[in-house]
Amino acid sequence: MRFGIAGCGGRMGKMLAEAVEKAGYEIAGGTERAGSDLIGKPFGTGKVFGDPRDLFAVADAVLDFTAPEASVENARAAAETGKVLVVGTTGLSDGQKDELKKSAQKAKIVFAPNMSVGVTLLTALVERAASVLDPTYDAEIVEMHHRNKVDAPSGTALALGEAAAKGRGVALSDKAVYGRHGKTGVRPAGDIGFAVLRGGDVVGDHTVVFAGDGERIELTHKASSRAVFANGAVRAAVWAAEQPDGLYGMRDVLGL
């Protein structure tokens, strides 16, 4: 497979390139935003493009950990060329997610807020735990990331919340509590709370707590390197290449 790296000049772009090379695949080129000094310079066996369509023309699969608007544009380019796109971008709106779904009618797209194999397993475990533990077990999701992360709660935390809600057969939008301040009163049974921490260079810590009377279950994942996200993205692209067009998640990739 020939891989393309969206946002190849960024920190995550470089990590993705390292993962592709480590896995023994070819880097056919990359993209950067308009006006970047990197456009036109060599990258892998190709170069850096300003237009994502030029990258999809030379790559079999593109890895994208950029920004919501760019990911939507990359999805459209994937649909035009029928290529594989793996999106690890967070902070997409519901409308932007719908755009990915629309593009996936003519492309193989894997979208997940966290490409880590460990986090994917954690999500499955949370759904299972929530299905077994009744709402008297209070569900709280605690996440911490580096000081430069711009969205909150993290996409992974929201995915864990969705998993807990699905396990309980409810909609997260009806049960989510994203912050508490002042005199909040007694905690309603069935709520799914979120707590967000930001600081330092933390790659990503997530803990889901089910707190009952007399006992507490905590499910935790801690990432110490972004390499886990990059490695998962490469695995997802290789898997997607053998699938029919459609929108997939990492649980599909792992068969969970």
How far apart CA 169 and CA 183 sit, in angstroms, is 29
DSSP per residue over 14-63, as a string?
HHHHHHHHHTT-EEEEEE--TT-TTTTSEETTEEEESSHHHHHHH-SEEE
**Cβ atoms of 10 and 226 closer than 8 Å:** no
CA dihedral over 123, 129, 135, 138, signed as positive or negative: negative
Catalytic residue status for 145:
yes
In Å, what is the CA distance from 25 to each residue of 1, 3, 4? 6, 7, 11
How far apart CA 5 and CA 63 sit, in angstroms, is 5
Catalytic residue status for 41:
no
3-class state of residue 207 by DSSP: strand
Catalytic residue among 145, 175, 206, 221: 145
- Sequence-separated (6 or more) residues with CB below 8 Å from residue 78: 56, 62, 84, 85, 103, 107, 108, 109
**Cβ atoms of 253 and 110 closer than 8 Å:** yes
Q: Which amino acid is at 159?
A: A
Active site residues: 145, 149
